[in-house]
Amino acid sequence: MIRVEVDLAERSYPIFIGTGLLRDATVIARAVKSKQVLLVTNDRVDPLYGPTLETALADRRLHKVVLPDGEAHKTLDSLYLIMTALLEARFDRSCTVVALGGGVVGDVAGFAAACYQRGVNFVQIPTTLLAQVDSAVGGKTAVNHPLGKNMIGAFHQPSAVIADLDTLHTLPPREFTAGLAEVIKYGLIRDREFFDWLESNLDKLLARDIAALSHAIRRSCENKAAVVGADEHESGERALLNLGHTFGHAIEHAQGYGNWLHGEAVGAGICMAARLSTRLGTIAPTTRDRIIRLVAKTGLPTEPPSTNSPESLLDAMSVDKKNRDGRIRLVLLDAIGHASLRDDYDPEALRAVLSPGADPLAA
Ligand code: NAD
Ligand code: GLY
């Protein structure tokens, strides 16, 4: 088992990465310390992994909430269901909310843990690649509002994260590929060596080779832990984790939540950020093409959808937590392994990259 530490003084916590962890009662007991436990999962993950975890938690006062599956249920209604379950169970402040599932379950359950009695313990057991490399780590919790994604939420760190690689075997290929967008992101914003490794090892990753997965998840978590440890509340460096996300959130919003997967939208968003960076003159066209080729090789989209006008995407991008004084601030690339938050781009260049077919790859 690999252990990566998120260093946040008294709120520091471990990320356990390995195989067989869900059925390892010792690992579960190290992570979940309360007697009162609310397990939050969804109707897709529950039949796959709920019983295994429930066995490992058999000595607790265990209650369970099974949410309907999907981004469309990352809502205040789901939060309300969890609150009701906590109150009906008469759980007190010593309880732990355990999220078993992907980023949607983790974000909603984490927000519930942040709100219930002004904050209770929270443990993340991510079962998608995206959640294992990104959403389960760092304490961002949220639900969506019809007017904007993740607009209602809180920072609430988990007390432990358990990433069991075995759960990735049942993940549908489209969901697995979506997670690779966030993996590539770390290479681009701060880890050139990791980007090079991804270029050389993508085939193994796509085949879900355990050694390759362990390395990719470990490097991703180490990068995320370093960023979160330095800037927990996103006053600076943490915003760089949003490479491709302002574009991506706009695509998700404009297409209707759940139609494009989050990771798919981020994949296209990374390519749009690379194109805009080249138009701004900070990365060469050859670097831009190298990035787009890696994204394309994973099977992720590299272009925005043709069904949304640049105006509708711009409108959605104007509702973003990074924006200041009406300016859309974007994470753009200075090199592979280096990014910055900028608003000094030409608005016409931004408009251009919001349409499919801008800057086709050189032959
Ligand atoms: P998801 O939670 O919707 O999971 C994807 C699908 O896979 C779902 O249908 C789910 O039920 C299913 N699933 C989960 N685990 C499975 C398994 N092991 N086997 C088979 N099916 C499984 O989506 P996601 O990609 O994990 O997460 C996306 C969400 O995460 C978005 O809402 C996004 O905004 C959020 N997010 C949050 C952060 C953060 O820092 N909090 C970071 C990135 C993304
Ligand atoms: N996924 C972006 C962040 O955690 O800050």
Please write the tens of the pLDDT for every residue from 96-147. 999 999 999 999 999 999 999 999 999 999 999 999 999 999 999 999 998 8
- Last residue of some domain: 170, 201, 221? 170
Please write the tens of the pLDDT for every residue from 154-182. 999 999 999 999 999 999 999 999 999 99
224 is catalytic: yes
Ligand 1 site, residue 266, Cβ cutoff 6 A: no
Domain, as residue range, for 142: 2-170
Check pLDDT > 80 for residue 324: no
CA of 75 to the centre of ligand 1 (A): 14
Are the C-beta atoms of 239 and 27 separated by less than 8 Å? no
65 part of a folded domain: yes
DSSP 161: E
pLDDT attached to residue 318: 85
Q: How far is CA 203 from CA 168, 176, 199, 200, in A?
A: 16, 13, 9, 8
Ligand nearest to the CA of 224: 2
227-246: average pLDDT: 96
DSSP 303: S
359 part of a folded domain: no
151 with 256, same domain?
no
Please write the tens of the pLDDT for every residue from 27-75. 999 999 999 999 999 999 999 999 999 999 999 999 999 999 998 899 9
CB contact set of 14 (below 8 Å; sequence gap of 6+): 3, 4, 5, 6, 31, 160, 161
262 is catalytic: yes
- CATH number, domain of 258, equals 1.20.1090.10
Ligand 1 site, residue 131, Cβ cutoff 6 A: yes
274 with 131, same domain?
no
Ligand 1 site, residue 82, Cβ cutoff 6 A: no
234 is catalytic: yes
3-state SS, residue 98? strand
Ligand 1, from 262, 270, 300, 321: best to mutate by most atoms within 8 Å of Cβ? 262
Total structural domains within the chain: 2
Instruction: Work out which ligand 1 atom sits closest to the CA atom of 126.
Output: 15
Buried b (16+ CB within 10 A) or exposed e, 333-353: beebbebeebeebeeeebebb
pLDDT attached to residue 321: 72
16 with 104, same domain?
yes
Catalytic residue among 73, 224, 279, 329: 224
192 with 327, same domain?
yes
CA of 150 to the centre of ligand 1 (A): 14
Among the residue ranges 161-165, 258-262, 288-292, 332-336, the one predicted with the least confidence is 258-262
